[in-house]
Amino acid sequence: MSVTTAIYGLTGTTLDPEEKAFFRDADPWGFILFARNVEGMRQLSRLTLELRDCVGRDAPILIDQEGGRVARLKPPAWRKAPPAEVFADLYLKDEEAAIEATRINHRLLAHELRTIGIDVDCAPVADLRIEGADAIIGDRAFGRTPEPIAHLGRAAMDGLMAGGVAPIIKHIPGHGRARADSHLELPVVPEEHGLLSETDFAPFKALADAPMAMTAHIVYADIDDSAPATQSAGLIGDVIRGEIGFDGLLMTDDLSMKALSGTFRERGERSLKAGCDMLLHCNGEMAEMVAVAEGAARLDGKRQDRALAAEAARERIEDFDPDDAESRLNELLDPVTG
């Protein structure tokens, strides 16, 4: 079967026979891992090999390893990376030090991920931190204004790609103003398009050459009050592809989040029709994955070109000494963490 426009999660620390058969037949472009899939380094290395064996190719394997509270790999087996807020605080004191620290931190993340066969990180977050908004973004943001987010987001991307890990900027075109958690309900952002362009959209425009981006399940009422960005042809075409200028691989946020409605086939079909390239489904529920597969498409044309470019972002690995890097990172962060 041809590769399809889907990324799936799985339920446990090993693949069961039903999952193996489904992944072989559905042939997703990639996979995503969560804390429930993690037992240790050896187990995770075996699991990533097993996932790629299911589809018979070097399929991308994703994880959310931002640092701070969004980290699927945790101590003691893995380093406790700081949240983005720490780098944002340092930026206010010393911009150059913050940029260097962010790059080093993400180079370390890349090293940690590649060691166990993971080669895509769902990071960096390019959303603004907005007072009064839902806390779902909070300390995950690199700042409260576009400038630090653009500079630190660039450093994060550079650090990941220097270690052979492809970054995903999220949540395009901006989750920062949401007054609800899209995992639980559909947020509506009422602010005018002009304001959003100057603020929320600006970091994504600065990072528009990223290989991948993840959509926001948010309604931007002044642009399209009928559909969330993930399923809005106007917002994807005019804002994400047009105004922001992003031409990389565009994937949905998790289709199982409660912000979306309809069957899982409908959720997938609407997202692809609106202009998304890839469907992300995370919880590993087999019935839901089967329905997503029914709504997925063959990966071809422009979508395939973008997928190949995203895969190529995993190819460069620079020489690196993790001990020296961690020492330098601690030195740079001392003014805000010491």
Catalytically annotated residues: 183, 253
Q: Are 120 and 212 in contact (CB under 8 A)?
A: yes
- Residue 173, preceding bond cis, omega within 30 degrees? yes
Outline where DSSP puts E strands in 99-164.
120-121
DSSP 82: P
Which amino acid does the sequence have at 163? G
Select from 40, 60, 46 the least CA-distant residue to 15.
46
Cα R_g (the chain), whole angstroms: 19
Which amino acid does the sequence have at 318? E
Select from 297, 322, 126 the least CA-distant residue to 205.
126
Which amino acid does the sequence have at 137? I
Cα–Cα dist 203/186, whole Å: 23
- Residue 175, preceding bond cis, omega within 30 degrees? no
**The tokens of 116 are what?**
């166990």
**The tokens of 169 are what?**
């900027």
CB atoms within 10 A of CB 214: 25
Outline where DSSP puts E strands in 159-271.
166-167, 169-172, 188-189, 212-215, 219-220, 249-251
